[in-house]
Amino acid sequence: MAVVTGANRGAGRGIARVLGECGATVYVTGRSRAEAAGEDLSLAETARMVSERGGTGIAFEVDHAVDAEVEVLFSKVRHEQGRLDVLVNNAWAGYSIDDGTLDEPFWQQPMLRFDRMWTVGVRSHLVATRLGLPLMLAAGRGLVVNTTLMFDLGEDVGALTGASPAILQKPPGETHAGTALFYRTAKLAINQMVLYMAKDLSWSGHDVAVVALSPGFMRTEEIMEGFGTNAQGWHTLPELKPTESTDLTGRAVAALAADEAVLEKSGQTLGTRELARQYGFTDVDGRVPPDWA
């Protein structure tokens, strides 16, 4: 029994589909959107995909910025299922503001962009976990996965120690760091939140694992639309050759859920491609894409 938030597209849809392949009942939540790259981005379509692959897909519209709506979701899960095995927190609203300022310095960007990254990203992950956790604690087990991004923290360590004077050099093609400032702050907060959730659960004697999961460069519907392609034509573009499908993230979640020793990974930030090598699964095309630098 699983709940996947932000499941109308991207990683959330891929995760829900693969859990469906495993025979799971999957509540897919979030808000439906218009199509991208020719794909229907409704929750109903994701639920249909889950059922088509062998599971039971249940679509439930939730604005994850509204706590009361999230409470209704978990009340519904408790009433209808009586248990929760896997919670995937994937809802994200960080790029919902398209006002032409994404490449501007942080002081010229709207704070609403950061607020949305924090509210439907960091805070929403915490709220859903708090509400879903009692079902897992009652069962004595469970897995919480929070999608995030894994960073090479070398430059941050260099900034603290003074060991890397090159950290302020501008990479080729970059303009400003404003959006990265907002984005990294939110994603690093998720990674730290996962660590301390895991500590609290462990110190309290509960066998519920909490991890952060970082996909690589994914072929989401919006990425393909941005490159002017779709699921049938992406492989003709050299820029998309290193990408992974959204199902790879789903296979990572499925592997973690099936791992009886998953508690050993609790508190960690994990990459999909490294997990593919550890557990022996591949992407839909039979390969494991190279690590995303």
Name the H helices within 220-269: 221-226, 246-258
Residue 258: how many CB atoms within 10 A of its CB?
11
Read off the pLDDT band of 172 (50, 70, 90): confident
Q: How many domains does the chain have?
A: 1
Our measurement of the distance from residue 253's CA atom to the centroid of its chain's CA atoms, rounded to an integer in Å, reads: 10
With cut-offs at 50, 70 and 90, classify the pLDDT of residue 76: very high
Decide if pLDDT at 191 tops 70: yes
8 lies in some domain: yes
Residue 259, in any domain of the structure: yes
What element of type H or E holds 146?
strand 142-147
In a domain, 288, yes or no: no
Residue 105 falls inside a structural domain = no
Q: What CATH code is carried by the domain that includes residue 229?
A: 3.40.50.720
Burial of 206 (0-12, 13-18, 19+ CB in 10 A): middle
Assess whether 279 carries a catalytic annotation. no
Domain assignment of residue 106, yes or no: no
C-alpha to C-alpha distance for 30 and 278, rounded to whole angstroms: 31
* Among 27, 95, 183, 279, the one annotated catalytic: 183
The per-residue pLDDT for range 95-121, each reduced to its tens digit, is 666 777 778 888 998 999 999 999 999
Mean pLDDT of 197-218: 96
Q: DSSP state, 104?
A: S
pLDDT higher than 90, residue 238: no
The one-letter amino acid at 97: I
* Residue 30 located in a structural domain: yes
290 part of a folded domain: no
DSSP 39: B
List CB contacts of 272: < 8 A, sequence separation 6 or more.
Answer: 213, 214, 215, 216, 244, 248, 249, 251, 252
Sign of the Cα torsion 63, 64, 65, 69 reads: positive
Give residue 8's domain range.
2-95+122-152+190-279
Structural domain contains residue 208: yes
pTM: predicted TM-score of the whole model, two decimal places:
0.91
Per mean pLDDT, which range of 107-116, 134-143, 233-242 is the poorest?
Answer: 233-242
